[in-house]
Amino acid sequence: MEQNRPTEHGPTIEDTLMMDNYIVLITLIKVVDHDLRQISASDFKMGTIYEAFFEKLLNRILKDIKELKTAMKKKGIVVRDRVNRDKEYVYWPYLCRGYSGNINRWIYALKSQCNEKLREYLDLKESDSE
């Protein structure tokens, strides 16, 4: 399988895609949780409905993270906590079957990936959210 072929030193392309997806999901959890707390503290007329919607969304993302973490564990992949390099870049150290490295992200690219993933969860096209 081409997708499962190891790169020269380290994770396969499939491993890298799993780690990328994990990073997007854990970032999205923080964003959605923050928004849920903002809604809970507000006085929206239908606040309880918005809260229920966001809680359902959080549960769906958490379920996907759990499944992804199980698959990563089976493959010997561990992604460590986020490290802020500076105002525009962040990275996550990882271990993958004895190989270690960092997954670097420009903060604005990560935001774009999170927006795209959220659109998937909400079943929205890009034109629907403009």
**Region 61-68: what's the mean pLDDT?**
97
Distance CA 103, CA 73 (A): 18
Task: Tell me what the mean pLDDT of segment 46-70 comes to.
Answer: 93
Q: Which two tokens stand for residue 12?
A: 């396969």
| Nearest CA among 87, 68, 74, 85 for reference residue 23 | 68
DSSP class of residue 12?
Answer: B
Helix axes 47-74, 107-122, angle to 10 degrees: 110
pLDDT digits (tens, 9 = 90+) for 104-115: 999 999 999 999
Summarize the confidence of residues 56-75 as an average pLDDT.
96
CB atoms within 10 A of CB 73: 10
What phi and psi, each to the nearest 5 degrees, are found at residue 73? -60, -40
- Mean of all residue pLDDT scores within the chain: 88
Tokens describing residue 29 = 């959890």
Tokens linked to 90: 């962040």
The model's confidence at residue 126, banded by pLDDT at 50, 70 and 90, is low
Q: How far apart are CA 110 and CA 89, in angstroms?
A: 10
Strands (E), 4-130: 77-79, 83-84, 89-96, 99-106
φ, ψ dihedrals at 85, nearest 5°: -80, -45
